[in-house]
Amino acid sequence: MKIHSREIDGLYLLEPRVIEDDRGYFFESFNHKKIMELTGEVHWVQDNEAGSEKGVFRGFHYQVPPYAQAKLVRVTVGKVLDIAIDIRPDSPTFGQCDSVILSDENKRQFFIPAGFAHGYLVLSDYAIFNYKCDNYYAPDYEGGINFQDENLDINWPLPTRDFKVSDKDKKLPALGEHREFTHQK
């Protein structure tokens, strides 16, 4: 497996070694020891899967401490633009975005540590998106950033007016209008 550090500290793109022959293909999709070498001890507690059609945008979502989540994401069917936004308050790259193409063809995975908002746009006719989380979903600790925030530096491959977005995600605030990235109950 090749591991590529990204420009924003803490993000990693994992590229598996795929073995192909006349029977099909094989690759190691997860290795706890290799992930620990990158990130330190991570205990995955939840796996999620979403199926969506072209133009669906899901995000940008995050959870605040003590329920902040690291994620390991991949696509098993189709193709998506996957995006992480640094929301670590003391980070020199706060507010910066990083994006990667994940697909069933490239079989890449994206490691996104806690302290990032995350979202993805489906580029193929249909996609199945899978992700591991190191903390449970906690709705009282969730937040989000509006995908139409003009301060986000994202080169969208599809017009945003054509995105299929949940009503909840349409109402998310811009990055500068959010509550603090620590829990305030």
pLDDT 10s per residue in the chain (185 long)? 888 899 999 999 999 888 889 998 888 888 888 888 878 778 899 999 999 999 999 999 999 999 999 999 999 999 999 999 999 989 999 999 999 999 999 999 999 999 999 999 999 999 999 999 999 999 999 999 999 998 899 999 999 999 999 999 999 999 977 656 654 44
CATH dotted code for 7-13+43-175: 2.60.120.10
Q: Give the residue numbers marked as catalytic.
A: 61, 131
Which of 139, 91, 145, 129 is closest to 113 using CA atoms?
A: 91
Query: What per-residue confidence (pLDDT) applies to 22?
Result: 94
Query: What per-residue confidence (pLDDT) applies to 180?
Result: 61
Query: What per-residue confidence (pLDDT) applies to 171?
Result: 94
Look at phi and psi of residue 95 and say left if phi exceeds 0, alpha if psi is from -120 to 50, else beta.
left
Q: How many CB atoms lie within 10 A of CB 114?
A: 20
Query: What per-residue confidence (pLDDT) applies to 41?
Result: 79
